[in-house]
Chain A
Amino acid sequence: SQTIHQWPATLVQPVGSPLSLECTVEGTSNPNLYWYRQAAGRGLQLLFYSVGIGQISSEVPQNLSASRPQDRQFILSSKKLLLSDSGFYLCAWSGSGNTEAFFGQGTRLTVV
């Protein structure tokens, strides 16, 4: 069966520090991968999605970047965090047939 792993679960980082959040999927190949951010009391904002290795689409220009070095690995990064980067980050995958998305447990990022 397919599983998705996202870590860490919580993270407190100082302003100006780098960020790396990792997401891996098991049990499937060539998934569509997504990074979302959910600010407090708000909906899900799509940050990046990827339909294949090295293929990244950015939905919102910002301080963050994403990479997909392997088929089932999706990384969210920043060189220098801002206070406004605080939020709840969710990784998700869907099959190549674009059926429902399956979500990781999420990472609560607090930039101080």
Chain B
Amino acid sequence: AQTVTQSQPEMSVQEAETVTLSCTYDTSENNYYLFWYKQPPSRQMILVIRQEAYKQQNATENRFSVNFQKAAKSFSLKISDSQLGDTAMYFCAFISYGGSQGNLIFGKGTKLSVKP
């Protein structure tokens, strides 16, 4: 069974600084997607960034980038130039590609606080 582990329950960062959130996963699949979701106090789940396992290049979305290490099964999120609006719960998620493997698995989340 696939599992996703986020080992940092809470983190804080100063505004404008850079922070990295960790995520590891376990799977026997070779083709899958990885995601980072953000859940602000409004509780709406928002997709931040996604990575296809077959792509070696790390995904980037503006201030958000990932460090995807497939052999190590590691998928960390780096937030550059942190802003107050980045304060939220961040969830790492995994889904296998295609077929009947429809289950999207989440980690327990990391609560990020951006301090002024």
Contacts and interface: CB of A to CB of B under 8 A. Distances in A.
Interface string B83-114: 00000000101011110111111111100000
Interface string B31-64: 0010100000001110100100000000000000
Nearest to B42: A105
Nearest to A108: B43
A44 interface: yes
A105 B43 CA distance: 8
Given A94-B95, A98-B102, A103 B33 contact: no
Contacts, number: 65
A106 B43 CA distance: 8
Contacts of A100: 33, 35, 47, 50
B44 A105 contact: yes
Contacts of A7: none
A93 B67 CA distance: 26
Given A105-B44, A106-B44, A46 B91 contact: no
5 contacts: A43-B108, A49-B103, A92-B45, A98-B97, A98-B104
B101 A98 contact: yes
A57 B93 CA distance: 19
Contacts of A92: 45, 104
B106 A43 contact: yes
Nearest to A57: B103
B60 to A, nearest CB: 16
